[in-house]
Amino acid sequence: MADSLEVNRRLLPHIPFLLQDLWVLGSSVDQIIEVVGSLKSLSPLKKILDIGCGKGAVTIQLAVRYGFQTVGIDAMTSFLEDAEKKASEHNVSHLCQFINQDIHDYVSNDHDYDLVILAALGGILGSFQNTIAKMRTQVHSGGFMIIDDGYLKKHNHLDRKGYGHYKNYDDTVQELTFFGDQIINQIDTSEVSKNINREYLDLIKRRGDELILKHSEFEKDINDYIRLQEEECDVLDNEIKGELWVIRKG
């Protein structure tokens, strides 16, 4: 969990405070909502899985917009508590189920969803080939998979923790379709992500300053975390082409 959030384990209990102003945790929510709507004409959608759902921004808005039964999986208890509150505020608690579990454990068992979403979690499931291998066990034949991530603009490898799964465009497509599945849509999310990331960084910095005043013993950890977030914004701006992949299981 600490690795996926790029945070020192000592600081992990304070992450809910640092991220309290953020409902969306990095994913391209509006694009996801729109593209899911376009899938309804291809196949009936009833039950949707959101892997690493965070505070439920995608999960809840799909329920609100389309009335889908949605299931969100996350290991961060405080995020799921926020998600349940949001679902109640939007009057979709009856449509949203949130499960507190390590996503690796959840996807180790087969499921029969119409659609599975992995949004802004990077290489948490490994390479794109390994990611697709695990995601396709969660949907029935003909079901859909959405990955909100990207590919390298210039290089074939990026030497940064958590970014080892990134490859160039051709290699990425090859991995995504390794099992015979079909990419049916892809959407450039670079500009949207750039604006959102910078806005969120400012919010996190302000909360970091507040937290340092309360817990000066965590000043180094907080500053290190913010520095990593700044570096990540630079990497995403300069090295990664943001892309939303829509894939249909063969």
User: What's the CATH code of the domain at 120?
Assistant: 3.40.50.150
Quick check: is 174 in a domain? yes
Quick check: is 195 in a domain? no
Quick check: is 1 in a domain? no
Concatenate the DSSP letters of all residues of 89-101 into one string.
Answer: HTT-TTTEEEEES
Quick check: is 92 in a domain? yes
Quick check: is 235 in a domain? no
The number of distinct structural domains making up the chain is 1
Rounded to whole angstroms, the Cα distance separating 6 from 20 reads 17
User: 51: domain range?
Assistant: 25-190+241-248
- pTM equals 0.90
Angle at 36 between CA 34 and CA 42, to 5 degrees: 120
pLDDT digits (tens, 9 = 90+) for 101-142: 999 999 999 999 999 999 988 889 999 999 999 999 999 999
pLDDT digits (tens, 9 = 90+) for 184-238: 999 999 887 777 888 888 999 999 999 999 999 999 999 999 998 888 888 888 8
Is pLDDT of 40 > 60?
yes
Quick check: is 3 in a domain? no
For 63, list phi and psi in degrees, rounded to 5.
-70, -40
Quick check: is 30 in a domain? yes
Burial class (CB in 10 A: 0-12, 13-18, 19+), 115: buried
Q: DSSP H helical segments within the chain, as ranges?
A: 15-18, 29-39, 57-66, 77-89, 103-106, 128-135, 169-176, 190-214, 219-238
